[in-house]
Amino acid sequence: MTDDSNKTDKVATRRKFLKGGAAAVAGVTAAVAMPHVSHAKTKTIKLQAAWGGGIFLENAKSYVDRVHAMAGKDLKIDLLSVNSVVKTSQMQDAVHRGVLDACHYVPAYWYSKSKSASLFGTGPCFGWSSQEVLGWVHYGGGQQLFDELMAKLGLNVVSFFNSPMPAQPLGWFKEEIKDASQMKGLKYRTVGLAADVMLEMGMSVVQLPGGEIQPAMKSGLIDAAEFNNPTSDRDFGMQDVSKHYHLASFHQSQEFFEVSFNKKMYNKLAPELQNILRYASEAENSNFYWHNTKRYSEDLAKLRTQGVNVYRTPDSVMAAELAAWDKVVARLSASDPFFAKVVESQMKYAKEVMGYLNLNQPDYKLAYKHYFG
């Protein structure tokens, strides 16, 4: 072979290599450009809320929006308003049976199954707010106790808690309440363990859905009522049946939402989708508080412009509420060991955490008065 023939062979070999390499690269590029993807079918969850409209339905939608933002096409929640499939009082059973996949409500709406349920959001105030009760749920053993309660009741349900509500107003009356004695004998609307507390204070309690409160007070079926907050109260038209509105109370001073899922359905979801449902609930905590406190303050100002007299409930009335709570808690703890177990866990957490917060937090009212009078 001559040197020229060697050069020719080398060129041919190089061309063959490059041609083969280019074909291989083209194949890889095609594979990258047009991958074989099998799209899983979107999982749809039917979730009924206990709300027919207003700010609480907005809050339920906000939770759903967070789930959609994180889950993309893998998970879709159909949000249904109140009574779309079943009545509010039947929602937990419907989720348990799989008639509904999920629901958005509060534990006070099903506490008739167990008085202990009301301790998860509408229980006695041990000097803490909704924020700290949710802290107990997540870091003080509350979630484990709730799961234990679900097991005791035989409920096929998984629940997450979110949205720390400000203390609920004492509510709407026909006159300004200056002393607890004025409340005796009044027909009053509330729910949960608050009903037991107000009965202990001498009131006659009527438990009504939110939408029925204003008509009931207008017709005289009830003398006084509370629901939850200035925005909802204004939407219901409470300012048209009463001009005396009392803020601050211990009857329901720490409450939050419960989002419940059918346990079998939840357990079949991929772990990442389970986590999205869980952590979207946690994310909604902050958004709820920021969003709702702004709206509540705006609507309270509007109620004042509509001729409503707004009062802070006297300390003597709230002290009477605490005394009533003591009797209710003692009675229920004596008859229900699990109730007593939850109360003990809550008190331990509240004593430690609020001991720190009360020592550390400055008097914010002092600063407010300094600037705004």
CATH code of the domain in which 114 resides: 3.40.190.170
- Whether residue 321 sits in one domain with residue 189: yes
pLDDT for residue 209: 84
Give the pLDDT confidence of 306-331 residue by residue, as tens digits. 999 999 999 999 999 999 999 999 99
- Whether residue 213 sits in one domain with residue 154: no
Is the model's pLDDT at 41 over the cut of 60?
Answer: yes
pLDDT for residue 217: 96
- 9 in a domain, yes or no? no
Is the model's pLDDT at 38 over the cut of 50?
Answer: no
- Separation of alpha carbons 232 and 239, rounded Å: 11
- Whether residue 267 sits in one domain with residue 209: no
What confidence category does residue 5 fall into, taking pLDDT thresholds of 50, 70 and 90?
very low
- Separation of alpha carbons 251 and 194, rounded Å: 5
Going by C-alpha positions, the residue among 153, 150, 134, 130 that lies closest to residue 142 is 134
Is the model's pLDDT at 252 over the cut of 70?
Answer: yes
Per cent of the chain over pLDDT 70 is 89
- 371 in a domain, yes or no? no
Range of the domain at 92: 43-164+255-293
Q: Considering only 2-11, 108-117, 146-155, 277-286, which range has the smallest mean pLDDT?
A: 2-11
What confidence category does residue 40 fall into, taking pLDDT thresholds of 50, 70 and 90?
low
- Whether residue 146 sits in one domain with residue 109: yes
What confidence category does residue 211 fall into, taking pLDDT thresholds of 50, 70 and 90?
confident
CATH code of the domain in which 197 resides: 3.40.190.10
- Separation of alpha carbons 118 and 302, rounded Å: 32
- Whether residue 234 sits in one domain with residue 272: no
- Whether residue 244 sits in one domain with residue 122: no
What mean pLDDT value characterizes the chain? 90
What confidence category does residue 207 fall into, taking pLDDT thresholds of 50, 70 and 90?
confident
- Whether residue 98 sits in one domain with residue 176: no
User: Rounded mean pLDDT of 288-306?
Assistant: 98
- Whether residue 116 sits in one domain with residue 59: yes
What is the tally of structural domains in the chain? 2
